[in-house]
DNA sequence: ATCCCGAGGG
DNA sequence: CCCTCTGGAT
């Protein structure tokens, strides 16, 4: 049960994030809403570096639902074989492309309810698309944010839904828009799962994680 | 609770 | 070798 950091401390923490990285961006490469949606779906349990390596070539060939269908499941597998869980992902992306054409006029829908009707698109993936493409106030909780939220006390919660609520409830309003990428980049490069780099952590002064001696 | 599932890092 | 990576469906 990690305690929740007080609001005044959260303001200091996010001010520090904002100072270090005024305009944080995601690192998944994409050229339009469709390629963003596909890239996020492919990124489940995979590094974005690995996803980018595969999608760089893939999106030159298939950057629309129509082209993805033309490529086909077997053709798609050839491109994403190096990413984990590739059979499920290939099947989902093909079915998702067909559904976009049949149900949404070939466009990526802008509501969570519509997005989550697509195969391979759950609440987390939908929230990433809503935040990054449509600039909606949606907080996607991935493995990094779940870990960072609980470890630091920024947004503790027993599951992803609880952490999502904690972010919405406790992160100062002026920082909500960029909170997702600040937290994810912090988790990826500083507050790593195995050997967190507490020695160079910019928010170490306020963190509740006991192993802040490294 | 389990399965999917390869690449990269320590 | 073992652990982790912007999860989702069953």
Q: What is the pTM of this model?
A: 0.95
Which nucleotide, over all strands, has the C1' atom closest to the CA of A132? C6
Give residue A42's domain range: 33-132
Residues of A taking part in catalysis: 124, 142
Give the domain CATH number at A19. Answer: 1.10.1670.10
Distance in Å from C10's C1' to A88's CA comes to 13
Task: Using a 7 Å cut-off to protein CB atoms, list the covered nucleotides of chain C.
Answer: 3-9
Domain identity same for A37 and A105: yes
A40: nearest Cα among A148, A121, A104: A121
A36: nearest Cα among A12, A14, A16, A64: A64
Is A187 annotated in some ligand binding site? no
Residue at a domain's end among A102, A132, A162: A132
Task: Using a 7 Å cut-off to protein CB atoms, list the covered nucleotides of chain B.
Answer: 4-8, 10
Please answer whether residues A129 and A40 qualify as being in contact, where contact means their C-beta atoms are separated by less than 8 angstroms: yes
Distance in Å from B7's C1' to A172's CA comes to 37
Domain identity same for A14 and A49: no
* Within-domain flag for A46: yes
Domain identity same for A40 and A126: yes
Please answer whether residues A60 and A115 qualify as being in contact, where contact means their C-beta atoms are separated by less than 8 angstroms: no
* Within-domain flag for A207: no
When divided into structural domains, chain A yields a total of 2
Footprint on protein of nucleic strand C, Cβ below 7 A? A 26-28, 40-41, 43-50, 84-85, 88, 92, 116, 118-126, 128, 132, 140, 142-144, 147, 180-181, 184, 187-188, 192-194
pLDDT tens for the 214 residues of chain A, in order? 677 899 999 999 999 999 999 999 999 999 999 999 999 999 999 999 999 999 999 999 999 999 999 999 999 999 999 999 999 999 999 999 999 999 999 999 999 999 999 999 999 999 999 999 999 999 999 999 999 999 999 999 999 999 999 999 999 999 999 999 999 999 999 999 999 999 999 999 999 987 755 4
Is A191 annotated in some ligand binding site? yes
Residue at a domain's end among A132, A156, A188: A132
Domain identity same for A116 and A181: no
Cα–Cα distance for residue pair A76/A93, rounded to 1 Å: 9
């Amino acid at each position: 049960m990690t305690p929740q950091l007080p609001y005044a401390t959260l303001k200091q923490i996010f001010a520090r994030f904002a100072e270090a990285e005024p305009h944080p961006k995601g690192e998944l490469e994409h050229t339009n809403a469709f390629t963003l949606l596909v890239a996020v779906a492919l990124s489940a349990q995979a590094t974005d570096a690995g996803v980018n390596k595969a999608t760089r070539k893939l999106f030159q060939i298939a950057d629309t639902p129509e082209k993805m269908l033309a490529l086909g499941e077997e053709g798609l597998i050839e491109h994403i074989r190096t990413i984990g869980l590739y059979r499920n992902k290939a099947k989902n992306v093909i079915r998702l492309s067909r559904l976009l054409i049949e149900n949404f006029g070939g466009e990526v829908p802008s509501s969570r309810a519509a997005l989550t009707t697509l195969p391979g698109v759950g609440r987390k993936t939908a929230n990433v698309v809503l935040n990054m493409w449509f600039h909606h106030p949606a907080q996607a909780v991935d493995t990094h944010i779940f870990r960072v939220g609980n470890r630091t006390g920024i947004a503790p919660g027993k599951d992803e839904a609880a952490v999502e609520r904690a972010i919405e409830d406790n992160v100062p309003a002026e920082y909500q828009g960029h909170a997702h990428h600040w937290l994810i980049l912090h988790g990826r490069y500083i507050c790593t799962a195995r050997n967190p780099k507490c020695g160079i952590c910019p928010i170490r002064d306020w963190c509740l994680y006991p192993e802040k001696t490294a």
